[in-house]
Amino acid sequence: MIAIINYGTGNLKSIRNGFLKIGVDATITKDPYEIEKADTLILPGVGAFGRAMEHLKAYEDIIHDHINAGKPFLGVCLGLQLLFTESQESKGVKGLDVFKGEVVRLPEGLKIPHMGWNNLKIVNECPLFNGISNDYMYFVHSYYVKPEDEEIIAATTNYGIDVTAAVCKDNVFATQFHPEKSGEIGLNILKNFVKTF
């Protein structure tokens, strides 16, 4: 079972619809038992880092156990940022800390949020991007991740500066952009994710 974690943030139906479009069912659930038993977890999200972590507390151990067991995991947008240690948006709030690093605000002088289509630059090998090159994806965000280990960065996008667009390590994949809102190429990314398990 693919479980989309419903922890009180938006974006749930659109990510489920993305999977349905590629012929894969995904269950939206807030039931800890269902989430614990899932073969694959999806962590979507929009909104503030601190509020999201507050709602995610009930699932934090389950998420870590899932990842540590080597099961596939996909974070999308805020779901990417929550995988990191901390965020400038919510000082003093610890993230899931799956990856060491900080979530920082896009620089002053840029239009914030970064909203709309921007092209990827694939920088490291990652199964998500099999058959995909520097295609355009749909972004909506005001913060971006700065991993301590740059080797986990799978793709970047340029928005005045190079911004981490996706990370990839072992069974954990995450994108700052919305694959489910990025047309056929975005759906191909979801197909590639499904092929990893």
Pick the CATH number of 2-195 from 3.20.20.150, 3.40.50.880, 3.40.50.720, 1.10.3720.10: 3.40.50.880
Residue ranges of alpha helices (H) inside the chain are 12-21, 32-37, 49-56, 60-68, 78-81, 183-195
Compute the distance between CA of residue 122 and CA of residue 23 in angstroms, rounded to an integer: 27
Residues recognised as catalytic: 77, 178, 180
pLDDT at 46: 87
What pTM did the predictor assign? 0.96
Domain boundaries, the chain: 2-195
pLDDT at 37: 97
pLDDT at 8: 85
What single letter denotes the amino acid at residue 14?
S
pLDDT at 149: 97
pLDDT at 55: 94
pLDDT string in tens for the chain (197-residue length): 999 999 987 779 999 999 999 999 999 999 999 999 999 999 998 889 999 999 999 999 999 999 999 999 999 999 999 999 999 999 999 999 999 999 999 999 999 999 999 999 999 999 999 999 899 999 999 999 999 999 999 999 999 999 999 999 999 999 999 999 999 999 999 999 999 98
Contact between 26 and 76 under an 8 Å Cβ cutoff? The reply is no
Compute the distance between CA of residue 103 and CA of residue 101 in angstroms, rounded to an integer: 7
Compute the distance between CA of residue 196 and CA of residue 114 in angstroms, rounded to an integer: 30
